[in-house]
Every structure is written in C-alpha cells, then in structure tokens.
C-alpha cells in the first residue's frame, strides 16, 4: 500500500495510508512494436491482453490501431522501424516541400550537397511568401537542414574523386531486410512479386532529342521469373485503338504518366486475377506478396478482396534492394535502342524524319512487349540477390555489340565513334514513371495538404466538446465550461478532502458552493459577485457556465496528443 508522506519542519516523518494507486511508468513503443500490435489485433487478439503484455493502457492500444494509417504511410517511417517519436518541424510547409523535392530528385538519381539543400529551402520559403502565406522568419540554417536530414534518415556521403553528396542511410534497408526475411517464409518464391515503373523516350537516336515522345512502362514479375505479367504501357494518344493482340497492358493518361487510380485499377483487375490463375494452375495457394516502392503512384499497401494478395512497401532507398533496379531497366533500354534503329531502317527511308513518319506506333508497342518476353529468366532471378533470394543463380553477362548499331546509323548517313556509341547505349539516366512536380506545383501541393489537415482537425472536435486525435506533437488546450451542478459536486468532494487532511479552506469552498446553489435556483446574473458567461455556441437549453469576478476561476483541460 502506498503511503502519503507529511513533513513538518524539525519533526519526524509521519505517514498515513492513502488509497492512491501507483502511477504506471510511461512506456514509449517503437514502430516495430506498434506494427506487431496492429497485426495481432487484426488477427483477433484482445486489446486487454496486448495492453498487459506491453504494460501500456488499453486506450493506448486503441489509439495505435486507430492511427495505423498515419504510422506506416510516411516515408521516414519506412527507413527506421526503431524510431519512437517523430518531432514536428517548426516550418512544416517548407519541410513538406523540401521533402517532396528531395525524394523526387533521389528517384531520378540526382544527387546534391547539403549547401544546395539549404539554398533550395530558402527558395521554397520565398515561393510561400509570394503566395501570401504567413510564416516565421526563415534563414535556411545548417541546424534546420541537419534536423531535416536526421528526420528523414538522410546522410552525407563522400566518395574518392567525387564531391560530397546526400543520400539515404542504409540503416533502414538493414531493418527492412530483417522484416522481409521474417515474412517470406510464409510464401514460396513463386508467390513473391515486385513491380516498378520508369519513363521511356521511345524515339532513341544519337544526337536527336525528342522528349515529347515518351511513354511510361511498368514491369511486374515474380522472383522465379516464371510469371512475367504483360508490361503496363501508359500513353497519351487519343486515336490509338486497343488491340487484343497487343503484348502489353495499355492505359491512357493526359501526360502519359501512370497515376494512383490507374495503378489501383491494374492491381484489382489485372494483377490479382492473373496471379490467382497462375498459382492455381501450379497447385499453389492463391496468395501472394507484391513489393512496391514509396511513390505518388502507390501510396497505400493494397490488398485483394479476400486479403490473400497484398502489397509490402520497400524502403525509400529502394535503389539498393529493388530487384527491377538491379539492371533490368537498363538492359531493357539498351536492347530497345538497338532494335528501334533496326525498325527505322526497315521503313526503307534514307532520311531520319521520313523514317519516323513511316514508323507505326503499334510496332513500337509490339517491340516493347517482345523485349520483355525475351528477357532472360536467370538474369531476372539474379536481381533478387539483395533480398536474399535465388542466391544460387549467377547473373549472366550481357555482351555489347556495336556493329549492328553502326550499320543501321550509316543507312541514314550518320557515323559515330565506338566510344560515343558505347556511352550512348550505356547511358543509364533513370526517369521515374510518375509525373515530376515543378517547384510551383510542389508549393501548391504543400498548401493544399495543410488546408486538408486543418479541416480534418476541426472536424474531429465534435459538438459535445470531445476531442479526437488531432495531430502528432501538438498541445491542445480546451476550456471546459463548468455547469452549476458540476461545481456543487466538486465543492462537496473538496470539502471531504479538506476535512480528512485538516486543510483550512472549507469556509471558502462553502461560500463558492452557496453561490452555485443560489445561481442554480435563481438562474440570474448577480452584478456584484457572479457573472454568467454568454453561451453563443451552445444550445440555449444547456445550463449556464459559472465564473467568479474575485477569483476568476477557470478550469482548463489540457490533453497531450502524442
């Protein structure tokens, strides 16, 4: 039994028994533990059992489950499952814009220094000011950039002969591999898939830039490469007729970029049925795991209607482990360049522009599908090595033959050195398959997002004054309006407490109680001692709130939303 200690000066310690229960020690769970809690709740375990095991309150377990979408749909979370607290930035708009820009550039394999990142943050600050957004003075200091890098697991890297640049730390990758290895034992290698997308400029000619002729390609295969789904080709042509014989899955968008809506449609109507059919024919349970990266195309981990086919995020630094980024895109682009020149020659024209006019886009579609079908099985299998799959498969060596390329170019009177052609074929500039926002669009997106967030926060405060989960790392102060009945009850309880511990304020409490009783009976304002607060926002039938002019008593309920 806990004792309440009463101390008097120069006197021995006196203790009295008290019914006060011991306060539970505050325990902060990391993301790995929270993820485990969510999965166990989904599996049917009771909240009470899990709360007792982790030594947290039952309400904490409910909060974790309710916030699961916020916990695991953040770029920073995917890189550090051991993190417990995510501190809010003092400049959330600038940070959101900077984060969006950084990860876009990282996906395009563009690297830059910390100094450039600071300069970019100041640029976004100026853009927000032009939008008449009220902000605190911002200096783009080194401290802000260091905190930004720490929050999103970004580190500075220095290589011999190169300038220092920023990239994502590998700690998140190691944690992901540990998590991935704990999951894959539930699946066979035929049941593990991956998907990724990139841009392809389908007019590929040395020293000829035609950036408008672009399509987005999305590749999907399982780890054995026995099931390569048709390439998803996104175009912006209005007059391209669908052909059932096309070896690709055609989608259309105004800017020829794949988007979230198109991806979700493909997942439910193309991926799930084809995977189910493939696994059923192999006498395997129709369940599968699809690995996806963090991008605007796939922002949530989709599941089939029966929950057996689901997605799993790869960490933000997915270039390190993503199977399709271990040479698959590069190989496909190199082979396409060689075969595209061959298509031009077959038009029979001697001028490049005339040959391009004669070239039918359907032939390009057929070529892309053919190259994907011809991709070597052992090559695709070897790209899963970094995820500890197919370790016994050796990666085949791809030979680079410049002779047919030189012959095709000579048909159009174009000659290049072997060194130039080698660099042209090996040019591995990666363009993501999603639309890349410019700075103005990033700023607009940030403003819109924070407007939506503010609207959601306002909706969570309901008419009865209850507060839901507002935001992480935010203190919320709400003035609780005390009714006369509540004040009387509180006074009674305080009188009991003061009597037990011989505290001499009973007379003051009695006065306050009498005022409350009088106020309750008369329901009128006392001009000298008592004033009734105007109740504009409340229902007129509700009892009035009590305040006193002498003591200015107000009770504030303060909740820490974590």
Task: Give the lowest-confidence range in 93-97, 346-350, 533-537.
Answer: 533-537
Query: What's the confidence (pLDDT) of residue 23?
Result: 59
Asked if 108 and 495 touch (Cβ cutoff 8 Å), the reply is no
User: Do 530 and 503 contact (CB within 8 A), yes or no?
Assistant: no
Same domain, residue pair 301 and 184:
yes
Pair (165, 176) in one structural domain: no
Does residue 111 lie in a domain region? yes
pLDDT (tens digit per residue) in 8-32: 555 545 444 445 555 566 677 777 7
Task: Decide which of 177 and 232 is more confident.
Answer: 232
388 and 254 in a common domain: yes
Q: Percentage of the chain with pLDDT > 70?
A: 70
CATH of the domain at 32: 1.10.10
pLDDT per residue as tens digits for the range 98-121: 988 988 887 777 778 888 899 999
Report yes or no on 18 lying in a domain.
no
Mean pLDDT of 144-160: 81
Is residue 62 located within the same domain as residue 124?
A: no
Q: For residue 188, is pLDDT > 90?
A: yes
Q: Tokens at residue 216, please?
A: 């987005």
Residue 303 shares a structural domain with residue 408: yes
Looking at the chain, the number of H-run helices and the number of E-run strands are 20, 14
CB atoms closer than 10 angstroms to residue 475: 9
Structure token digits, residue 112: 């830059």
Q: At 540, is the secondary structure helix, strand, or coil?
A: coil
CB 80 within 8 A of CB 175: yes
Whether residue 156 is found in the same domain as residue 208? no
In terms of phi and psi (left: phi > 0; alpha: psi -120 to 50; beta: otherwise), the region of 228 is beta
Residue 172: pLDDT band (50, 70, 90) is low
Whether pLDDT at 549 is above 60: no
Query: Is pLDDT of 544 > 50?
Result: no
Contact 541, 523 (CB under 8 A): no
pLDDT of residue 360: 86
* 114 and 137, same domain (yes or no): yes
- In sequence order, the β-bridge partners of residue 157 are 165
Tens of pLDDT, residues 30-89: 777 787 788 788 778 888 888 888 888 888 888 888 766 555 444 444 445 555 555 667
The pLDDT of residue 446 is above 70 = yes
Last residue of a domain, one of 359, 392, 426: 426
For residue 523, is pLDDT > 70?
Answer: no
- In this prediction the pTM is 0.62
Whether residues 332 and 222 fall in one domain: yes
Lowest mean pLDDT of 340-354, 440-454, 544-558, name the range: 544-558
Q: Is residue 2 part of a domain?
A: no
Residues 360 and 488 in one domain: no
Q: How many domains does the chain have?
A: 4
Residue 395 maps to which CATH number? 3.30.420
pLDDT at 473: 39
Q: Is residue 8 part of a domain?
A: no
Taking only the tens place, the pLDDT of each residue in 372-383 is: 999 999 999 999
Residue 235 and residue 128 share a domain: no
Please state, rounded to an integer, the average pLDDT across all residues of the chain: 76
Say what the pLDDT of residue 373 is.
Answer: 94
Give the model's pLDDT for residue 379. Answer: 93
- Identify the pLDDT of residue 318: 61
End-to-end CA distance of the chain: 31
Residue 415 has pLDDT above 50, yes or no: yes
Quick: pLDDT tens for 471-521: 343 333 334 456 677 777 777 787 787 777 676 666 666 777 777 777 767
Average pLDDT rounded to a whole number, residues 523-531: 43
- Provide the pLDDT for residue 15: 47
pLDDT of residue 170: 57
Q: Is residue 343 part of a domain?
A: yes
Mean pLDDT, range 282-301, rounded to an integer: 87
* Domain assignment present for 232: yes
Q: Quick one: pLDDT at residue 211?
A: 64
Greatest mean pLDDT among 317-326, 453-462, 529-538 lies in: 317-326
**114-130 helix and 92-107 helix, angle to the nearest 10 degrees:** 130
Same domain, 370 and 275: yes
- Here the contacts of 22-27 (C-beta below 8 Å, separation 24 or greater) are 24/55, 24/57, 25/55, 27/54, 27/55, 27/56
How high is the pLDDT of residue 478? Answer: 35
What's the domain range around 145?
92-169+437-451
pLDDT at position 98: 92
Residue 535 counted as domain residue:
yes
Bigger pLDDT: 4 or 365?
365
Listed residues 451, 486, 520: the one ending a domain: 451
CB 187 within 8 A of CB 289: yes
264-270 contact pairs (CB < 8 A, 24+) = 264/302, 266/218, 266/232, 267/302, 267/311, 268/302, 268/304, 268/305, 270/229, 270/232
156 phi/psi in degrees, rounded to 5: -90, 135
Same domain, 276 and 152: no
Residue 464 lies in a domain: no
């Amino acid at each position: 039994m806990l004792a309440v200690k009463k101390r008097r000066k120069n006197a021995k310690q006196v203790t009295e028994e008290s019914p006060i229960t011991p306060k539970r020690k505050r325990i902060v769970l990391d993301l790995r533990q929270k993820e485990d809690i969510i999965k166990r709740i989904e599996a049917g375990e009771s909240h009470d059992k899990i709360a007792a095991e982790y030594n947290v309150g039952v309400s904490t377990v409910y909060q974790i489950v309710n916030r699961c979408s916020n916990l695991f749909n953040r770029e920073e979370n995917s890189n550090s499952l051991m993190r417990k607290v995510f501190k809010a930035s003092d400049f959330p708009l600038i940070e959101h814009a900077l984060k969006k820009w950084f990860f876009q550039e990282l996906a395009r394999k563009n690297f830059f220094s910390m100094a450039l990142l600071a300069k970019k943050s100041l640029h976004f600050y100026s853009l927000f000011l032009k939008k008449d957004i009220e902000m605190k003075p911002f200096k783009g200091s080194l401290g802000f950039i260091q905190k930004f890098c720490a929050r999103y697991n970004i580190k500075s890297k220095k290589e011999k002969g190169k300038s220092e640049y920023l990239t994502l730390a590998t700690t998140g990758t190691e944690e992901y591999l540990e998590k991935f290895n704990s999951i894959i034992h539930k699946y066979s290698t035929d049941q593990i898939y991956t998907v990724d997308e990139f841009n392809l400029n389908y007019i590929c000619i040395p020293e000829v830039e035609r950036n408008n002729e672009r399509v987005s390609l999305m590749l999907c295969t399982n780890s054995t490469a026995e099931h390569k789904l048709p390439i998803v080709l996104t175009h912006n042509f209005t007059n391209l007729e669908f052909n059932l014989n096309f070896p690709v899955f055609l989608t259309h968008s105004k800017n020829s970029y794949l988007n979230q809506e198109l991806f979700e449609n493909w997942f439910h109507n193309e991926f799930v049925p084809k995977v189910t059919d493939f696994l059923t024919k192999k006498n395997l349970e129709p369940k599968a795991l699809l690995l996806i990266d963090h991008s605007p195309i796939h922002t949530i981990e989709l599941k089939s209607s029966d929950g057996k086919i689901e997605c799993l995020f790869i960490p933000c630094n997915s270039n390190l482990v993503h199977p399709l980024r271990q040479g698959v895109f590069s190989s496909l682009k190199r082979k396409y360049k060689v075969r595209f020149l061959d298509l031009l020659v077959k038009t029979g024209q001697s001028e490049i522009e005339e040959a391009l006019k004669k070239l039918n886009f359907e032939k390009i579609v057929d070529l892309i599908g053919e190259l994907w079908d011809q991709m070597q099985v052992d090559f695709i299998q070897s790209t899963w090595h970094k995820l500890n799959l197919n370790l016994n498969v050796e990666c085949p060596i791809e030979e680079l033959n410049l002779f047919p390329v030189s012959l095709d170019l000579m048909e159009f009177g174009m000659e290049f050195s072997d060194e130039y052609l080698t660099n042209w074929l090996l040019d591995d500039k990666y363009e993501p398959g999603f639309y890349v926002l410019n700075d103005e669009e990033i700023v607009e997106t940030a403003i819109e997002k924070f407007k939506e967030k503010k609207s959601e926060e306002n909706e969570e405060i309901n008419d009865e004054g209850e507060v839901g989960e507002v935001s992480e790392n935010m203190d919320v102060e709400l003035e609780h309006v005390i009714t006369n009945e509540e004040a009387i009850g509180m006074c009674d309880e305080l009188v009991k407490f003061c009597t037990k511990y011989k505290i001499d304020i009973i007379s003051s409490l009695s006065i306050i109680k009498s005022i409350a009783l009088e106020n309750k009976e008369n329901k009128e304002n006392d001009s000298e001692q008592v004033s009734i607060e105007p109740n504009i926002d409340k229902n007129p039938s509700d009892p009035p709130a009590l305040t006193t002019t002498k003591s200015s008593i107000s009770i504030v309920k303060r909740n820490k939303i974590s």
